[in-house]
Amino acid sequence: MTQTLRVLVATLFLVPLTATPSALEQPDWIPERLRVPAGHEVLLRASAVGVQIYGCRATKNGGFEWVFRAPEAALFRGNVELTGTHFAGPNWQARDGSRVFGMRIESSDAPNPSSIPWLLLQAVSHEGSGIFSNVTYIQRLLTGGGVAPAPSTCDAAHEGDEARVEYIAAYYFYVEAPTTEK
């Protein structure tokens, strides 16, 4: 792990990410466009530590560019307990075998321009039975790192190369809030 990633991980782990009954609402610092609709509550907050994978490829106009391929990250609950993984799709899989596949619906630049954007995703399918079985929305927040390499590093000599750029993030997983009937 590079020194930069160590600092980013230490910073992320200073943010309390364990959900408690009094903390089931979205934090008020989340940008409006990334807010989950009313009627949903936080199920799980997980810290992600991993890489964003990019590939160098030729463009139609004869140039070259780094293209995002997939994330690859470990998810930690309560900052220490390995609870799952995040990978291409985008997919999140819990250690209990449950999986949620999401689709991006909104994006917002991270406050730090050297970090990947913050996202709001909606669950589009599920597999298995477990913690991710009923997830409705996912937010990617508090990102650090993960931005594609400099364009100048992708050229004919590097076509087909893969770059694995370290990143961290906080993922908030939401479910429908229970309704109270009188």
Q: Block means of pLDDT (10 residues each) for the chain, length 182 residues? A: 49 44 67 95 95 97 96 90 95 98 97 96 98 97 97 96 97 90 59
Query: Distance between CA 12 and CA 69 in Å, rounded?
Result: 24
Q: Is there a domain that residue 124 lies in?
A: yes
In the numeric block, the tokens 């790192």 are attached to: 145
Q: Is there a domain that residue 11 lies in?
A: yes
Q: How far is CA 124 from CA 25, 104, 164, in A?
A: 22, 10, 27
Phi then psi dihedrals of residue 23, to 5 deg: -120, 35
Q: Is there a domain that residue 30 lies in?
A: no
Nearest partner of 35 among 108, 90, 99, judged by Cα: 108
Please report, as a single letter, which amino acid is at residue 47: S
Domain that holds residue 79: 3-21+40-50+71-146+169-176
Nearest partner of 122 among 142, 144, 141, 100, judged by Cα: 100
Which pLDDT belongs to residue 10? 45
Residues whose CB falls within 8 Å of the CB of residue 45, separated by 6 or more in sequence, listed in order: 17, 18, 19, 77, 170, 171, 172, 173
Q: Is there a domain that residue 28 lies in?
A: no
Q: Is there a domain that residue 26 lies in?
A: no
Q: Is there a domain that residue 60 lies in?
A: no
Q: Count up the domains in the chain and report the number.
A: 1
DSSP bridge partners of 167? 50, 145
**Which residue intervals of the chain are DSSP H helices?**
3-12
Q: Is there a domain that residue 55 lies in?
A: no
Single pTM value for the model: 0.85
